[in-house]
Amino acid sequence: MTEAYIYDAVRTPRGKGRADGSLHEITPIQLATQTLEALRHRNDLDTSYVDDVILGCVTPVGEQGADIARVAAINANYAETTAGFQINRFCASGLEATNIAAAKVMSGEADMAIGGGVEGMSRIPMGSDGGAWPTDPSVAFHSYFVPQGISADLIATKYGISRDDADAYAVESHRRAKASWDAHHFDNSVIPIKDVVGMTALAHDETIRPETSMQTLGALKPSFLDMGAFGFDNVATQRYPEIEKINHIHHAGNSSGIVDGAAGILIGSKEMGEKLGLKPRAKFRSMASIGSEPTIMLTGPSFAAEKALKKAGMSKKDIDVWELNEAFASVVLRFMQVLDIDHSDINVNGGAIAMGHPLGATGAMILGIALDELERSGKETALATLCIGAGMGTATIIERV
């Protein structure tokens, strides 16, 4: 089978996903367009050799609807022959899009492809696309649907993760993100986003709060307490009846931030890279997706990681850099429990608690950050994974070349 190589990885800065966020004036199609433009520009890319653009987008309605990937390729003046399609694997969409691009290269269907994602969360609110799972009574009853926040609190309760554990984790995420920016770890990969006249709208991740402390977080009210009391706690304990009472530990400060952003990863075969004069940075070792119990929902990453390790013929000791999306603090803390990973080995540059989680794009962003970290630290292997709505996990292992 053909090997798939990463030639480049870029991401936009993440703008606060509200009306006062710096990217609120920028359309999602622009975020995607400028990402594709950056990949072309940085690599002096003849886009007629790019077979496909695959973008994750979790709320593909309105201005994000109707195959935003193909429209972004057109808008970025890619060659007419570059196809494009949008996928949705909820929070792992960006990584899944990357995996699909790699798989296309591996299978020989494509020689060069782009995987990535985009989400303008300030403009298209989460959930705008509806969906049967929470809404259709026959489905919600059948599957014991609870919102993700309840699932995150359920994980904390079931596995003995306290509010202090989660808050301490969040404080460290902000500290690491700030330190990484200060040390220029992200400079090579973050592309400033321009407005219509070409002024920079945003060049840095916008939601990092280095002043975050146990005291500032301690003042925040649990986000999912009322929702739980309304009925969802009971739905969760019907599925997990060994639990007396859900401990609501998550709040706005130890959960991922709502932001706008996009990311793209250029993937191709060795031959095509050589033909275009590109230098490979890493190769794909393995990729995996799994389904897990949907009510607790967010325990998928460990299963996905184990599956990817097995496929690669590796053990967890073979992984140098771990990236797990910080959807909620408990998700990462539980993952660290299961795989016995020290905090110093995971999310070393901070994560979505500090910098935000643009749903469709995050997967590609954390893979790019892992790649930068490998190069910076001179290490070899990285595993990136994300928890996913409806109980799934996706993981990718890359190796520097």
Annotated catalytic residues are 91, 357, 387
Min dist. Cβ of residue 234 to other proteins (A): 4
Letter string b/e over residues 215-242, b meaning 16 or more CB atoms within 10 A of that residue's CB: eebeeeebbbbebbeeebbebbbeeeee
Q: Binding of other proteins at residue 145 (CB under 8 A)?
A: yes
The nearer residue to other proteins, 144 or 159, going by C-beta atoms, is 144
Residue 130 within binding range of other proteins, rule CB under 8 A = yes
Residue number with CB closer to other proteins (108 or 127): 127
179 lies in the site for other proteins, by CB under 8 A: no
The reply to whether 144 sits near other proteins by the rule CB under 8 A is yes
Q: Find the binder of other proteins among 64, 189, 212, 237 (CB under 8 A).
A: 237
Q: In this chain, which of 137, 198, 277, 378 binds other proteins, going by CB under 8 A?
A: 137
Which DSSP symbol is given to 257?
Answer: P
Contact 222, 253 (CB under 8 A): no
Determine, following the binding rule CB under 8 A, whether residue 291 of this chain makes contact with other proteins: no
**Member of 77, 107, 135, 315 binding other proteins (CB under 8 A):** 135
Residues 231, 310, 315, 375: which binds other proteins (CB under 8 A)?
A: 231
Question: Closest distance between other proteins and the C-beta of residue 242, in Å?
Answer: 4
Alpha carbon of residue 243 to chain centroid: 30
Q: Report the nearest approach of other proteins to the CB of residue 225 (Å).
A: 13
CA of residue 307 relative to chain centroid, distance: 19
Which contiguous run of DSSP H or E holds residue 372? helix 362-377
What are the CA-CA distances from residue 115 to residues 25, 103, 177, 264 (Å)? 25, 11, 24, 6
* 141 near other proteins, judged by CB under 8 A: yes
Specify the residue, 129 or 380, whose C-beta has the smaller distance to other proteins.
129
Choice from 38, 69, 73, 146 touching other proteins (CB under 8 A): 146
Angle (nearest 5°) at CA 338 between 207 and 156: 55
Cβ 129 to other proteins shortest distance, Å: 9
Bridge partners, 147 (sequence order): none
Return the residue matching tokens 């022959």.
81
Tell me whether residue 198 or residue 241 sits nearer to other proteins (CB atom): 241
Instruction: Indicate whether 232 belongs to the interface with other proteins (CB under 8 A).
Output: yes
Q: Which run of H or of E encompasses 368?
A: helix 362-377
Measure the CA–CA gap between 7 and 63, rounded to whole angstroms. Answer: 30
Question: Smallest distance, Å, CB 124 to other proteins?
Answer: 13
Q: How far is the CB of 135 from other proteins (least distance, A)?
A: 5
Identify which of residues 34 and 247 has a Cβ nearer to other proteins in the complex.
247
Question: Which region, left, alpha or beta, applies to residue 27 given φ > 0 means left and ψ of -120 to 50 means alpha?
Answer: beta
CA–CA distance from 308 to each of 49, 289, 325 (Å)?
Answer: 29, 8, 16
Query: With CB under 8 A, what is the number of residues at the site for other proteins?
Result: 27
Residues 366, 358: Cα–Cα separation, whole Å: 11
- Residue 244 within binding range of other proteins, rule CB under 8 A: yes
Angle between helices 329-339 and 300-312 (to 10 degrees): 40
Task: List the structure tokens of 227.
Answer: 């929702």
Q: List the one residue from 46, 136, 271, 274 that touches other proteins (CB under 8 A).
A: 136
Q: At what angle do helices 362-377 and 93-107 cross, to 10 degrees?
A: 70
Element containing residue 214 per DSSP (H, E): helix 214-218
Which residue among 77, 230, 337, 377 contacts other proteins (CB under 8 A)? Answer: 230
* Torsion angles phi and psi, residue 157, rounded to 5: -65, -50
Q: Is 164 in the site for other proteins (CB under 8 A)?
A: no
Nearer CB in complex with other proteins: 134/160: 134
List binders of other proteins among 188-227 (CB under 8 A).
none
Is residue 238 within the footprint of other proteins (CB under 8 A)? yes
Pairing of strands 282-291, 321-324: unpaired
Binding segment (CB under 8 A) for other proteins, from list 26-34, 142-150, 260-268, 335-343: 142-150
Contacts of other proteins in 245-264 (CB under 8 A): 245
Q: Does 62 bind other proteins (CB under 8 A)?
A: no
Single-letter amino acid, residue 276: L
Contact residues toward other proteins (CB under 8 A) are 127, 130-132, 134-138, 140-141, 144-147, 230-232, 234-235, 237-238, 241-245
